[in-house]
Structure 1
Amino acid sequence: MRITQGTFSFLPELTDDEIAKQAAYALDRGWPCSVEFTDDPHPRNSYWEMWGLPMFDLTDPAGVLYEVKECRKAYPDHYIRLNAYDARYGRQTTALQFIVQRPRREPGFRLDREETSDRRVRYTLHAYALDRPEGERYGDAP
């Protein structure tokens, strides 16, 4: 199962050149970029770990791509995404966000159904990856 979050999530993986072009697009509009990573991409997990600080003073997309590559080296089996922020509204507003790396194997999610009182039904998502401990969720084991 392929996790679909952010812009471009239904497209094939972006190449480094395409990532640099998207970073240039963001920087040309004055949107600072940041890199984040996680091994729990649950849809409600909106707070991923930050790779360094947001790059507020960066104007060259090569610098953004450098940070993406360094994060990939440090976390080869994690999800990594690139964010661009638009500060025009006076608060942190995500203008562009997309995944730039995925683990080799994405186990996906299970939909759990629970019947409650008065015939009400509740659904929750359970990530199969969470059945394994943090740091081992996307290894080669089944």
Structure 2
Amino acid sequence: MTLGIVRVDDGWRVPALRGLGVSELVIDDRLRLRIESNEIMLCSGAELVADERAYGLSAWPQTNLGKATELLRQAVAEVSVSDQGALRVLFAGGWRLLVPVNDERSAWRVTVRDHGVLTAKPGGGVAVSDPGSET
């Protein structure tokens, strides 16, 4: 049985995404990473660490989106969320995507099909929804 979202001492881990590749990148006022039937949505600025360099990343205003396209087909190694509401996505090739807490709005959302949704709360913290519940 695949574990979807797991509570750990300092937050959550999302083992259901481990080993899956980013299959689609959707850019509008947000940046969405589709990972098979799952999704990581970035609603505010993030930092992409690639090749030992840090890139500010944002869908609006558009910032470093050319670098974001290089996430396509990258395999996810680990997705972790801190109790404070920071998101960290590690990729098998060594890249890291870091999304800090946003004081004014939800910074990100991780949707894991059939397992639930993790959503950053404005100002910090994480809301957890079970599958089938209203988000």
TM-score in terms of structure 1 length: 0.30
Q: Which has the higher helix share?
A: 1
TM-score in terms of structure 2 length: 0.31
Q: Which has the higher strand share?
A: 2
